[in-house]
Amino acid sequence: MPIYHGFKATIIPGNKEGISGSVIGGYNIGLSIYSDEEKRDASVQALMHITSREIQKEMMLKYKKFSGIVNLFDDLDSCDKDDFCDVHRKIQPIARPTSLTDDYNSYSEKFRYYIYEYIYGNDDIDPLDMLSKINDITYFNYISIKTKYSSLGKIFGSIYLTISILIILSSCFLYNKNFQFYYSFLSKDYWILTLIGYIFVIVTSYLDMEKVTPVHCRLKQLFHLLSYTLIFIPVFHKLVSNYPEEIPYQNWFHNHRILFMIVFIIVDIGVWGLTLFSSSTSEDIKVTNGKNFQKYDRYLL
């Protein structure tokens, strides 16, 4: 496509034959709501004129500028003199990844820095290391048992699972006559609820491994509340029931231990339900020359 005398423009070659590496570029035009109504109306008329089919066609023919009106490239009057439209048909324009980050200028600066460092800088730079640094600009790391890049998640997952199984198996001692003396402080049902509370603590640790989402945040709040209740309320009930001095409802507490626990669980669920009306978002922590990560922005505990 002729641009100036002696120069010709063509598509940017891509990785494969027939695939271009062209990138979309341009400008955004907006009108300020604080402008006078008369000036806004005049600006609208000017924009309508600039973006009209006739003006866009003139810009194509006279200045060799691409237009956003796609069907102009099928217009014989616009495309009969040179291969201008042919260039447009061959490109597969790639949009700049402006949606990846709130600060695209910073992203673009870091991206170009790593690319130029690899091309023009130290020859000893590992290309995989360079690509990893580019990926880390926008990627937020987290530990997961599903990831294929690290075995750390599987190790932690195995540890959590093993501890959970041991906690469940430990309940067998409650029914062994040789050990019942050591568990006489609480009733069997309270001991079982206590063990469930410890399992809930492990569940909250497991939720920390996965990607930060509003659902995980809510579940972590709930399991935290329930775990504290199931672990500490049985001991609290025992102390209240056996308080050396008489207190109101002491006999009722002693005779209704399950209902005593249910009341606290209902309170936990009620408090957790109130948090559903508040926003629960994640906070992005960006580390320069390091690994980005996310954390819970608003957390009940």
Classify residue 221: in a domain, yes or no. yes
Lowest-pLDDT range, 117-121, 130-134, 283-287? 283-287
* 11 has pLDDT over 50: yes
Same domain, 8 and 90: yes
* Both tokens assigned to 281: 């978002």
Output the pLDDT for position 300.
46
Classify residue 66: in a domain, yes or no. yes
Same domain, 181 and 245: yes
Same domain, 157 and 279: yes
Same domain, 244 and 208: yes
Classify residue 79: in a domain, yes or no. yes
**Structural domain for 103, as ranges:** 99-138
pLDDT digits (tens, 9 = 90+) for 106-129: 888 888 888 888 888 766 778 888
Q: 239, 211, 228: which is closest to 271 by C-alpha?
A: 228
* 301 has pLDDT over 50: no
Same domain, 107 and 187: no
163 vs 243, which has greater pLDDT? 163
Same domain, 171 and 275: yes
Cβ pair 174, 180 in contact under 8 A: yes
Classify residue 301: in a domain, yes or no. no
Same domain, 116 and 213: no
Number of domains in the chain: 3
Cβ pair 169, 152 in contact under 8 A: no
Cβ pair 1, 84 in contact under 8 A: yes
79 vs 299, which has greater pLDDT? 79
Quote the mean pLDDT of the chain. 83
Classify residue 146: in a domain, yes or no. no
Same domain, 91 and 104: no
Residue ending a domain, choose from 83, 112, 138: 138
* 24 has pLDDT over 70: yes
Same domain, 91 and 108: no
pLDDT digits (tens, 9 = 90+) for 202-241: 998 888 887 888 888 888 889 999 999 999 999 998 888 8
* 33 has pLDDT over 90: no
Same domain, 6 and 134: no
